[in-house]
């Protein structure tokens, strides 16, 4: 399958703005929306003030859910479960939002099938995930989890990295979430891609290293961005 050209956004803030705009447009034409945050972790970056919505968060990490409940308190329903074992109803949600989760999950094909089942007709599937075909994605797959913790703590300055309730979570990053297989999933389920963007640039020297490795792979792996935003819609 030949893929459409990938446009890139300057940063995650721009990606979140696009997601928020899409959610607001959807909410404007629906009196009430049910949102599932799949792999909700400790935070949700969107303010949907003025809209009638219900936010359900599911996560396998009890400590992350505890922090979310006590520090943020924005979830209407909290489900502590592996996504694969969740018992949501068919066509239960208007929106399923999953941010930096699918790279940590085995059986992405099956999980995408569940997302499709849990969505209402016309519902939105919003996914943020590292780009499988990026230099960052490639290096993350090739390096051990201990290195990821070290990187987040000492290069990104995240002092809680690796502690209970905090990432980085062990990386699986199955190819099923790469652009090609994801487009195939959409077309075999009659879903439409509404927005597809790359975003995220590494800081300082890491950016140059990433761009150089990308160039050495003749563009097979993107050096200039490392995340993808997919916003798709069920028929
Ligand atoms: C990197 S964090 C992202 C958290 C949040 N979505 C965000 O964007 O900040 C990944 C989250 O996915 C959760 N997770 C990983 N595998 C899961 C699974 N099989 N079922 C449910 N949650 C899972 C982790 O516990 C963690 O909270």
Does pLDDT of 191 surpass 90? Answer: yes
d(CA 232, CA 235): 10
Domains of the chain by residue range: 7-131+172-202+227-233
Please tell me the predicted confidence (pLDDT) of residue 92.
Answer: 98
Model confidence, pTM: 0.96
User: How many Cβ atoms are within 10 Å of 161's Cβ, its own excluded?
Assistant: 17
User: For 88-99, b where at least 16 C-beta lie within 10 A, e where not — what string?
Assistant: beeeebbbbbbb
Closest C-alpha to ligand 1, atom 4: 41
Task: Pick the residue whose CA is nearest to atom 18 on ligand 1.
Answer: 82
User: Could you give the CA distance from residue 169 to residue 218 in angstroms, rounded to a whole number?
Assistant: 30
Q: Is the pLDDT of residue 81 over 90?
A: yes
Q: Does residue 130 line the site of ligand 1, with CB under 6 A? A: no
7-131+172-202+227-233: CATH, from 3.40.50.150, 3.90.320.10, 3.40.30.10, 3.40.50.11540: 3.40.50.150
**pLDDT tens column, 29-79:** 999 999 999 999 999 999 999 999 999 999 999 999 999 999 999 999 999
Please say whether the beta carbons of 86 and 79 come within 8 A: yes
Residue 161 tokens, joined = 């990295």
Segment 194-201 shows an average pLDDT of: 97
* Distance from Cα 74 to the centre of ligand 1, integer Å: 17
| C-alpha pair distances (Å), 23 with each of 57, 95, 156 | 17, 8, 30
Residues 145, 168: contact at Cβ < 8 Å? yes
pLDDT of 223 > 90? The answer is yes
């Amino acid at each position: 399958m030949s893929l459409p050209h990938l446009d890139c956004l300057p940063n995650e803030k721009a990606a979140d703005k696009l997601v928020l705009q899409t959610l607001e447009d959807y909410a404007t034409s629906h009196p009430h929306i049910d949102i599932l945050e799949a792999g909700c972790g400790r935070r949700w970056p969107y303010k949907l003030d003025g809209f009638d919505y219900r936010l359900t968060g599911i996560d396998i990490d009890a400590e992350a859910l505890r922090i979310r409940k006590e520090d943020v308190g924005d979830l209407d329903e909290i489900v502590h479960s592996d996504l694969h074992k969740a018992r949501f109803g068919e066509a239960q949600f208007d929106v399923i939002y999953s941010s930096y989760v699918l790279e940590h999950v085995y059986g992405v094909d099956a999980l995408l099938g569940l997302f499709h089942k849990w969505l209402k007709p016309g519902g939105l599937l919003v996914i943020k995930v590292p780009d499988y075909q990026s230099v960052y994605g490639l290096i993350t797959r090739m390096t051990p989890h201990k290195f990821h913790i070290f990187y987040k703590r000492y290069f990104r300055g995240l002092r809680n990295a690796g502690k209970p309730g905090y990432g980085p979570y062990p990386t699986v990053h199955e190819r099923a979430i790469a652009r090609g297989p994801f487009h195939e999933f959409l077309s075999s389920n009659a879903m439409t891609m509404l927005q597809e963007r790359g975003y995220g640039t590494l800081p300082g020297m890491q950016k140059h290293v990433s761009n150089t490795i990308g160039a050495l792979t003749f563009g097979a792996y993107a050096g200039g961005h490392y995340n993808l935003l997919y916003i798709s819609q069920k028929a």
